[in-house]
A = this chain, B = another copy of it.
Amino acid sequence: MSEITRFGVSLRSTLLEQFDELIEEKGYSNRSEAIRDLIRNRLVEEKWAQEDVEVVGAISLLYSHDVRELTHRLTEFEHDHHVAIISKMHIHLNEHNCLEILAVRGLASEVREIAEKLISTKGVKHGKLIMTTMGEGLA
């Protein structure tokens, strides 16, 4: 891991007061931690805007296991993309509905496409993609 460095931020005291209120409310332990989070968020957004960088996505799929063949169709698609799909979690929300969450690694365009295909599968009620990364350089 790289060494810790330090830099100063100058701003009006009224702005700092409001920021201090916010970070207390959100549970941050100190300003540096809150600033680092803002910076990392911005960097992850930027990574997803690039073409040829490896990213990680978490895809949520909400569906009813009553839909005939759906589980089977999803599983088959997932197997075809087993290199990109790192892992998956399946939750029985209630009698009918399941939440499935997949962790997927690849180029931003690939992860987006896998998410779109899964979310557009007939019978999937709701799906979303979280865009995150492998964490390199975000230390």
Contact = CB atoms under 8 A, between A and B. Distances in A.
B26 A64 contact: no
Nearest to A103: B91
Interface string A1-28: 1111111111111111111001100111
A-side interface mostly? mixed
Contacts of A15: 36, 39-40, 43, 137-139
Interface in A92-139: 93-94, 96-97, 99, 101, 103, 105, 116-117, 119-122, 124-126, 128-139
Contacts of A84: none
A9 B9 contact: yes
A68 to B, nearest CB: 12
Interface string A27-59: 111111111111111111010000000001010
Oligomeric state, in copies: 4
B132 A62 contact: yes
Interface residues of A, number: 82
A89 interface: yes
Nearest to A44: B126
Given A31-B9, A56-B99, A87-B91, A41 B135 contact: no
B117 A27 contact: yes
